[in-house]
A = this chain, B = another copy of it.
């Protein structure tokens, strides 16, 4: 079955890549219209998925991810319009040059081909991801979580309707409707698939990265740090810390550890503790932290190494910038790292030396997000260094082709 889907995807992709940008944008705008027009139906189906999941014992944060509401749907529709307004990534020149013998070379962006996406819970992905893949001329095979199956089925059907309506092949978006795990595994080994992107928890991502024999981009594990320097504006640091933890602790751009310069620990910790405690955050700290805020839980190695993805924060005292950078290099996942400081040299050095997809100076790690970055949506946040790093928008879904126009040039020998 997967081989057939791949074949159909490949055929659809060829026709998509031969279409013009305006046609592809019209599909996105048609889907925007459908999402708004059919919002009631989508929400009804989604409520059924949620009810079944709750009856099946799905836990709170996962239910929250599964649930759509009017606001979320409107945001997704808005995102489609945003993406449709972005310039067409295809055919864009990345460089052109001429050899001494007159051969003219030009490198342009072309689609990757057929892309697979394995994701959990969030049915919003079924709106966002096809918007990016269609716009960038790729075919997409979706494999969502079984708990969201009916919502995904409806959204995928709307996409196929929009494609057909605009004269493009509906197989540019295909959904694997069978919830059996063998289809997820099959996707990981589907030879000829140009890219597989896992989106979800660390377990899913690690399984895909280790098991897959097709090209994969690792996404989404974010053990993000905030370093509060001795020259920090402490009010700003507390605001940024709270923003990075409380709003949505279950996503990858959430803060997991705060590193505090020893010189300001007495002044900063009690206030920060109280501010986050009021929001229900549980603090974990080393001895030095607990000497100041005794209500903090004892932190051990696992507190530094993992993502909580919950209303917990680890706190650690450091002696200087070097110690902070070393801690981040050791435990960080190169996702998003932040420093709060009024010191120019400290901020510069932090930004220079910390190796991560996005490094923030006096700003919240929450901006590591395709929509915030202005990409209209994201197909995931890459935490690897090859091909794409950080929020993946349209460009991450393309590769290049160099075209050489000659008049009979040979190298001779």
Contact = CB atoms under 8 A, between A and B. Distances in A.
Interface in A342-374: 351-353, 355-364, 366-367, 372-374
Interface in A170-222: 194-195, 210, 213, 215, 217
A361 B411 contact: no
A403 B195 contact: no
A217 B384 CA distance: 14
A385 interface: yes
Contacts of A351: 403
Contacts of A113: 355, 385
A363 B404 contact: yes
Q: Among the interface residues A373, A386, A404, which one has the most CB atoms of the partner chain B within 10 A? A: A404
Q: Among the interface residues A112, A236, A352, A408, which one has the most CB atoms of the partner chain B within 10 A? A: A408
Contact of A103 (B99, B233, B367, B406): B367
Interface in A366-410: 366-367, 372-374, 384-387, 389-390, 399-410
A195 to B, nearest CB: 7
A286 interface: no
Interface in A224-281: 233, 236, 239-240, 242-243, 246-248
Nearest to A400: B389
A96 to B, nearest CB: 12
Contact of A359 (B233, B399, B404): B404
Given A103-B363, A401-B356, A406-B362, A247 B411 contact: yes
A390 B373 contact: no
The SS class assigned to the A binding surface is mixed
A97 B374 contact: yes
A125 B411 CA distance: 21
A384 B239 contact: no
A243 B412 contact: yes
Nearest to A398: B385
A399 B373 contact: no
Contacts of A356: 401
B407 A355 contact: no
A91 to B, nearest CB: 9
B407 A400 contact: no
B246 A413 contact: yes
Contacts of A97: 374
A362 B407 contact: yes
Contact of A402 (B242, B246, B359, B405): B359
A210 B191 CA distance: 12
Nearest to A384: B215
Contacts of A105: 373
6 contacts: A113-B355, A233-B408, A240-B408, A362-B405, A363-B408, A367-B411
Interface of A: 18, 97, 99, 103, 105, 110, 112-113, 194-195, 210, 213, 215, 217, 233, 236, 239-240, 242-243, 246-248, 351-353, 355-364, 366-367, 372-374, 384-387, 389-390, 399-413
